[in-house]
Structure 1
Amino acid sequence: MTPQRARAADAAQLAVIHAESFPDRPWDAAYLERLLGEPGVSAWRSGEAGFLIIREAAGEAEILTLAVRTAARRQGLARGLIRTALEEIGAERLFLEVADDNAAALALYAGLGFEKVGFRPRYYPRADAAAADAHILALDVTRTA
Structure 2
Amino acid sequence: MTDTPAMSPTETYRANLAERRLTFQSCRACGQTWMPARSECPNCLSPEFEWCEAGGRATIVSWVVFHVAFDPRYEDRLPYNVALVDLEEGARMVTNIIDLPDGEDVIGRTVTLEFEHDLERELPRFRLAD
TM-score scaled to structure 1, two decimals?
0.31
The structure whose residues are more often strand, as a share, is 2
The structure whose residues are more often helix, as a share, is 1
Q: Mark the structure with the bigger radius of gyration.
A: 2
